[in-house]
């Protein structure tokens, strides 16, 4: 009787920066029970990949789990897949880092499991035509990708059962297509439906081998799956059914399959990921049109017919869709360039920190929270800043120092200004309002500018439907892609879109009808053209006292009725080598021949990560918090007048950031909260706090008003 070779791959991962309780619950509810059931079914053979962050957690919390894997490796039941250790997207890394991450994982597998890995799990299956060269240089022979990649190369469903050879500059490797039917069926459909599918493709296409590869979290972490997979015995039943049919189903590994069967041919795959990722990466407007088109093709019954020619965007679109993603990526590249790799197998601490900062999860957003989860973004910055700290400590020892750089940091063909000392990093973008887009307190490895702009997402239109209860039921757990759940009431009203990026030192001229409510919702009248427009750098220098001075100017206009009144802003920043402080001076000049009344504001967007934690709160002019109201946590909304001091305090990390003004200012403060999609449903997430310092003044013709302020960080 003819047999079908079933290649079964599982990928388990928890991101750098995820909460310890999530690791623990995932281990106990998913990874461990899967392996324990696998132990009891020795004829079931699996290719398994654990990401580095998960392996490190297991090694510290449950090292005996390694023995279970090692024993099944010995009895030839498990093949272990390598990959980038901290689950990076290899295609967006410098080549040296991509190869280094794979080598780190391969060496870890050899040391802990006495196994020589031959293939890799490719994070998020993000493929780039340059990868065969990189993967081959790292000594790996194969990877597994979605059938989507192969459809885009012009193949049909009948061509998806086996593997192909691809190459770049003569460096070859094998690629296996993951069957989408299996990816959506296991473990969501009844076990016999998978075997029915095997029979069908064997009869229709004379299939030899078929590949399944997907997230291990489907087996206990995704909503509803623990009950279904373990309490209702889906996994036991699935394994038992396969064992009962081993006369025609043969479990094999990828490396064994390559040894026994020739490739189905040569192939060159386009840049791609799985189908859903390609849709998520599209700009919002394009994403909505794409969704509409796919529904139309489905309704007309021709979607599958034209599948090879239908695709969304590409992963790299996330770097244009989300400015915050691009800034993290460019920070990673910047830090990578600063590290000089030494020869030898030992991984220096700065390189390990860089690798941790390359974990992919915070760099994009789709079904999972990803970029919208502030603690994941924080983890990326935390490790990148620590890598910087190690590098600079080696260069400067324990001496105080300060330096500045002017270059195209974010790769938009325009220069940014980076000022750093031992205590802080302050990065400025002259061409976007002269704003500060990164403000790091280096001793605590904390980027206080790690906020997120509120922007439209393609899925926002689903929220009202979900709130109205328009979703179906069913006995089996739904695939996570099909779940629509609203985690709290009123999310539709919480959806707000910003028309500018949430940065600091943002310059506003407010209309008379502005109040805190419409300013919060970004629907206020802006009379000036300074917020997001280019400033010119007039000076960047370092004096003999090691103080760096940066001066930027813009001449623009303020609307006054039908008139445009010419106004100039000269803003200066001074940083010393000793202090974690930026001293700023604003000179606002009326360039016209008419006196004007102005309402000028300087906006800061800062984060201490938690909006409703009593260990993080606002500090008022008394140096503490409002006695009558108690601690005002960072998702509070309020306004005060005539203050010279205001700040945010973090008792957990034991530091505070303070704004001080020479002349009293009025202040508004409120949270920046986004409404986003996650695996658990739609949710509101605190992304940071907006603080607007503002002054009303009369500006005489050809005269200048000066505002002096400082932002500084201190520990307690």
Q: In this structure, are strands 4-12 and 249-252 parallel, antiparallel, or unpaired?
A: parallel
Please state, in angstroms and rounded to a whole number, the distance separating the CA atoms of residues 568 and 585: 14
Q: Any catalytic annotation for residue 124? A: yes
CA 680 to chain centre: 17
- Are 483 and 218 in contact by the 8 Å Cβ rule? The answer is no
User: Rg of the chain over CA atoms, in angstroms?
Assistant: 28
Q: Which residue out of 167, 215, 532, 560 is catalytically annotated?
A: 215
- Are 196 and 204 in contact by the 8 Å Cβ rule? The answer is no
Provide CB contacts within 8 A for 650, sequence distance 6+.
Answer: 608, 615, 616, 656
Q: Any catalytic annotation for residue 410? A: no
Please state, in angstroms and rounded to a whole number, the distance separating the CA atoms of residues 406 and 424: 17
- Residue 35, SS3 per DSSP: helix
DSSP 129-185: TTHHHHHHHTT--EEEEEHHHHHHTT--GGG-SS-EEEEETTEEEEEEEEPHHHHHH
Give the torsion sign (CA, 641, 646, 651, 657): positive
For residue 204, how many other CB atoms are within 10 A of its CB? 10
Cis peptide before 187 (omega within 30 of 0): yes
Q: From residue 512, give the alpha-carbon distance in Å to each of 526, 527, 696.
A: 10, 10, 10
The DSSP code for 347 is -
- Are 159 and 269 in contact by the 8 Å Cβ rule? The answer is no
Exposure letters 497-517 (e unless 16+ CB within 10 A, then b): ebebbbbbbbbbbbeeebeee
Helix (H) or strand (E) holding 709: strand 704-715
Please state, in angstroms and rounded to a whole number, the distance separating the CA atoms of residues 596 and 306: 62
Please state, in angstroms and rounded to a whole number, the distance separating the CA atoms of residues 298 and 305: 10
Q: From residue 12, give the alpha-carbon distance in Å to each of 20, 180, 358, 372, 380.
A: 16, 19, 17, 21, 20
Give the torsion sign (CA, 250, 256, 262, 265): positive
End-to-end Cα, the chain, rounded Å: 75
DSSP 612-644: S-TTEEEE-TTSS--TTT---BTT--EEEEEEE
- Are 402 and 550 in contact by the 8 Å Cβ rule? The answer is no
Q: What is the largest CA-CA distance in the chain?
A: 96
Q: In this structure, are strands 704-715 and 681-699 parallel, antiparallel, or unpaired?
A: unpaired
Please state, in angstroms and rounded to a whole number, the distance separating the CA atoms of residues 636 and 496: 17
- Residue 662, SS3 per DSSP: strand
Please state, in angstroms and rounded to a whole number, the distance separating the CA atoms of residues 52 and 61: 14
Closest CA to 10 of 33, 167, 174: 33
With DSSP H G I counted as helix, E B as strand and the rest as coil, what are the percentages for the chain, rounded to 5?
35, 30, 35
User: Based on the number of CB atoms within 10 Å of its own CB, is 122 exposed (0-12), middle (13-18) or buried (19 or more)?
Assistant: buried
Q: Which residue out of 87, 97, 124, 683 is catalytically annotated?
A: 124
Q: How many CA atoms lie within 13 A of 221 on its CB side?
A: 22
Please state, in angstroms and rounded to a whole number, the distance separating the CA atoms of residues 596 and 697: 9
Helix (H) or strand (E) holding 111: helix 95-113
Catalytic positions, written as ranges: 124, 215
């Amino acid at each position: 009787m003819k047999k079908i070779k079933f290649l079964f791959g599982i990928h388990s991962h928890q991101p750098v920066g995820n909460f310890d309780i999530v690791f623990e619950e995932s281990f106990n509810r998913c990874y461990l029970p899967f392996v324990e059931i696998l132990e009891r079914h020795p004829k079931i053979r699996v290719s398994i990949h654990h990401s580095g962050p998960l392996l490190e957690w297991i090694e510290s919390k449950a090292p005996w789990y390694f023995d279970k894997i090692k024993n099944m490796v010995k009895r030839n039941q498990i093949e272990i897949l390598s990959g980038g250790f901290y689950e990076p997207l290899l295609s967006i890394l410098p080549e040296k880092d991509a190869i280094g991450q794979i080598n780190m994982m391969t060496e870890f597998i050899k040391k802990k499991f006495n196994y020589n890995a031959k293939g890799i799990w490719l994070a998020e299956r993000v493929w780039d035509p340059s990868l065969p060269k990189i993967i081959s240089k790292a000594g790996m022979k194969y990877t597994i990708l979605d059938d989507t990649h192969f459809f885009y190369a012009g193949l049909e469903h009948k061509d998806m059962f086996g593997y192909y050879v691809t190459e770049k500059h003569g460096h070859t490797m094998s690629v296996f297509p993951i069957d989408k039917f299996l990816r959506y069926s296991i473990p969501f459909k009844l076990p016999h439906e998978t075997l029915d599918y095997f029979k069908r493709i064997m009869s229709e296409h004379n299939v030899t081998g078929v590949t399944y590869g997907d997230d291990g979290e489907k087996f206990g972490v995704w909503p509803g799956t623990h009950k279904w997979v373990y309490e209702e015995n889906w996994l036991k039943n699935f394994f038992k059914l396969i064992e009962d049919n081993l006369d025609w189903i043969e479990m094999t590994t990828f490396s064994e399959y390559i040894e026994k069967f020739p490739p189905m041919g040569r192939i060159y795959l386009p840049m791609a990921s799985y189908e859903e990722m390609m849709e998520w990466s599209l700009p919002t407007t394009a994403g909505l049109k794409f969704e509409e088109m796919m529904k139309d093709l489905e309704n007309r019954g021709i979607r599958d017919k034209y599948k090879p020619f239908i695709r969304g965007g590409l992963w790299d679109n996330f770097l244009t869709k989300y400015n915050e993603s691009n800034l993290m990526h460019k920070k990673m590249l910047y830090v990578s360039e600063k590290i000089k790799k030494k020869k030898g197998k030992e991984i220096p601490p700065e390189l390990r920190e860089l690798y941790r900062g390359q974990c992919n999860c915070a760099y994009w957003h789709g079904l999972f929270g990803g970029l919208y989860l502030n603690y994941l973004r924080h983890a990326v910055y935390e490790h990148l800043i620590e890598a910087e700290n190690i590098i600079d400590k080696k260069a400067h020892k324990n001496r105080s120092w300060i330096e500045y750089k002017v270059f195209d940091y974010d790769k938009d063909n325009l220069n940014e200004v980076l000022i750093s000392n031992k205590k802080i990093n302050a990065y400025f973008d002259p061409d976007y309002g002269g704003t500060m887009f990164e403000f790091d307190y280096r001793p605590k490895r904390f980027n206080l500018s790690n906020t997120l702009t509120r922007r439209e997402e393609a899925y926002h239109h689903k929220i009202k439907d979900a709130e109205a209860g328009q979703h179906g039921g069913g006995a089996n757990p739904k695939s996570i892609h099909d779940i629509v759940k609203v985690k709290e009431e009123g999310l539709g009203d919480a959806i707000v879109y910003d028309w500018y990026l949430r940065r600091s030192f943002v310059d506003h001229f407010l209309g008379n009808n502005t109040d805190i409510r419409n300013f919060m919702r970004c629907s206020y009248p802006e009379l000036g053209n300074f917020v997001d427009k280019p400033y010119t750098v007039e000076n960047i220098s370092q004096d003999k006292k090691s103080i760096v001075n940066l001066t930027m100017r813009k001449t623009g206009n303020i609307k006054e009725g039908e008139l445009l009144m010419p106004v100039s802003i000269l803003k200066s920043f001074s940083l010393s080598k000793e202090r974690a402080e930026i001293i700023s001076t604003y000179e606002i000049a009326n360039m016209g021949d008419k006196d004007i009344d102005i309402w000028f504001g300087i906006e800061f967007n800062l984060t201490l990560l938690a909006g409703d934690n009593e260990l993080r709160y606002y500090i008022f002019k008394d140096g503490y918090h409002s006695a009558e109201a108690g601690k005002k946590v960072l998702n509070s909304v309020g306004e005060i007048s005539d203050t010279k001091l205001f700040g945010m305090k973090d008792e957990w990390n034991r530091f505070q950031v303070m704004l001080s003004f020479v002349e009293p200012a009025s202040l508004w403060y409120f949270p920046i909260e986004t409404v986003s999609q996650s695996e658990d449903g739609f949710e509101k997430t605190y992304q940071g706090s907006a603080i607007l310092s503002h002054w009303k003044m009369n500006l005489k013709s050809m005269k200048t008003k000066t505002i002096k302020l400082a932002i500084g960080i201190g520990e307690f």
